Chains A and B, each alone.
Chain A
Amino acid sequence: MRFPLMLPAVLAATLLGGTGCGFFKDPSEEGGEDSVLMNGTPRRAELPAYNGSRVQRGKMPGIEFSDTAWEVSITEKEKIKAVATYLKVNAERVILAGGASVPNAEYARQLGQQRALSVKNALMREGIPGTKIITVSFGTDLPGPGGDRVEFGFVHTGGTGDADR
């Protein structure tokens, strides 16, 4: 595949210096999500997608958020515990799909991601290893009921959860 500005891109890489992303931490090293390092920029490993045919969605109620909040509310802690209990026995991995209803597409994408990250941290505090948790944000287009929530998609052993294409 040819790209016309590869020469400028190479030049830009040179201008950015040899440090590049050297200070980046690979999240997989700290129990985070799967990734491999490619030329200094982390790249996501092959992961099951939330909308994949082998992902069980809607099994447990999602975590609700208000307005622009992204911290998990105390009222949602019981849901977190229930998901953690289920995960320990029943599922190989869980996909946390974040959504936000703020009327700005880019803000919604990053807010949904931040909410998924908060739920991930809450699950890790309940003893779920970070390597079992995948996060994704759909912003304003969260499948299902949508809105200000993080939904759970359970990936069971033997299922790839590949996205429907």
Chain B
Amino acid sequence: MIFKHRLLLTLIAGLLMGPVLRAQDSARVPVGLEEFIGGTGESASQLLKADLVNSGMLSIGDNSNPGNGWLVRGSSSAGRIDGALIDKKGNLLFNNHYDEPDLRDNAHAFADDIANAITGTRGIASTKIAFVSHRTGAPEIYLADSDGGRIQQITSTGRLKGSPSLGPGSILLTYTSYASGFADVVLKDLRTGDERPVLAAPGTNSGAVFSPDGTRLALSMSFGGDADIYVSTLSGSRCQRVTHSKSVEFSPSWSPDGNRLVFCSDATGAPQLFVAPRSGGNPERLDTGWRSSLSPDWSPDGVHIAFTGRDKGRPGVMIHDLTSGKSRLLLNNAQDPAWAPNGRHLVAVQNDSLVIVDTVNGQRRTLVSGVPRLSEPAWSR
């Protein structure tokens, strides 16, 4: 168990120092990184370097002159890490012990604590990304660290499946499964491997996504005839209809406060984005300027909606600014965007790869490539 007061101390340190960088700033803060001592020190150091750079907010700077910036110091043995962050004036901000069994978990947690203490913004190193691939010949659900490490195959039934969504803390996974021969929503506990169908109404039950607090699912169901958006409890025992139309509604995504949903509807012809209260009510169309707008994902800061825009040609990943009402192209020939919990990074499918893009500085890195038919990435919140 990681030292239980670690988070509190890190938060206090961050509060005392005050954040020096906001999540939407493009400048990187240089952080000096001393070589770690100990048997797994070199591996820990390499993982940490990558995590700090992947945060988009930090860079690895010169550690020969501590007065130039922040300094990270630590040691690692048998995968455990003792790590400290020292500020520009030489003050110790925190000195934490990370003792999860896997070195990766410890390095990611240390990296997130550093990012949080320096920037005041939660890091993404410890987050997970779920996605669909046909690597085995059938669509299966996979899970990867946000740096592309530890790719795990989560399902192995050989049956059709899709639409993964991760709950808070990556403890629960929901996805669409055809194990019964029909499209049902399955809830899986990633710690125990237990799973069960929770929504198996007549017709197609699909596209379930966890609410921000992890207590509900929004999804598309068609047992009433046309596909509509519903909100359900995690057990599936109770659900509430959100839309009542004669068209096809699908791909819901929650607003960060959990009060509204953005989703797709073909009510006006080609699919477009609409927003409706979670409890129901008249949906309002978002004018994205694209002929087709698909796979929306509401940013955790509530300001943007990422989506796949399609005209006649190839798709592009777009970002719609809810304040200005304008959309901008982020990625060409890409689709299925999903926000990171920091509201800064997006994962998407581009050219048969999963890529992560920093929406502030435009930097892009490949998460997974060379795997057949990648689709529907979902980032843990």
Residues of A near any B CB (own CB < 8 A): 1-6, 8-13, 15-16, 19-21, 23-25, 27, 32-35, 38-44, 47-52, 68, 70, 103-107, 109-114, 117, 135-139, 141, 163
Point out the residues of chain A lying under 8 angstroms from B216, CB to CB: 12, 16
In the complex the two chains form, is A110's CB within 8 Å of B194's CB? no
Pick the contact of B238 from A23, A39, A135 — CB < 8 Å? Answer: A39
Is B56 located at the chain interface by the 8 A CB criterion? Answer: no
How far does the alpha carbon of A107 sit from the alpha carbon of B231 in the complex, in Å?
18
For residue B240, which residues in chain A have a CB less than 8 angstroms away from its CB? 16, 19-21
Do the beta carbons of B238 and A21 come within 8 Å of each other?
yes
Question: Do A136 and B204 touch (CB < 8 A)?
Answer: yes
Nearest chain A CB to B210 CB, angstrom units: 10
* Distance of A107 Cα from B189 Cα, bound (Å): 27
How distant is the Cα of A40 from the Cα of B336 in the complex, in angstroms? 33
Give the number of chain B interface residues (Cβ < 8 Å).
Answer: 68
Given contacts A106-B162, A135-B203, are A5 and B234 in contact (CB under 8 A)?
A: yes
With known contacts A13-B235, A13-B237, A41-B232, A104–B223 Cβ distance under 8 A: no
Asked whether any CB of chain A lies closer than 8 Å to the CB of B23, the reply is no
| Selected interface stretch from B72-80, B81-89, B175-183 | B175-183
Q: Which residues of A contact B176 (CB under 8 A)?
A: 109
**B162 adjacent to A49 (CB under 8 Å):** no
Query: Cβ of B189 and Cβ of A103 under 8 Å apart?
Result: no
CB distance from A20 to the nearest CB of B (A): 4
Binding site for A on B (CB under 8 A): 132, 139, 160, 162-163, 167, 171-172, 176, 178, 180-184, 187, 189, 191-192, 194, 196, 199-204, 206-207, 213-216, 220, 222-227, 231-241, 248-251, 264, 266, 270-271, 294-295, 308, 310, 315, 335-336, 375-376
A136 touches B163 (CB 8 A): no
Cα A137 to Cα B206 in complex, Å, equals 11
- 5 more contacts with CB within 8 A, not counting A40-B237, A103-B315, A106-B162, are A8-B214, A16-B231, A50-B181, A114-B226, A114-B248
* Contact B248 A110, beta carbon cutoff 8 Å: yes
Residues on A with beta carbons closer than 8 Å to the beta carbon of B201: 35, 41-44
**Contact of A32 with B202 in the complex, beta carbons under 8 Å:** yes
Q: How far is the CA of A112 from the CA of B224 in the complex (A)?
A: 16
Contact A27 B206, beta carbon cutoff 8 Å? no
B222 near A117: Cβ-Cβ < 8 Å: yes
By a CB distance below 8 angstroms, the chain A residues around B266 are 68, 111
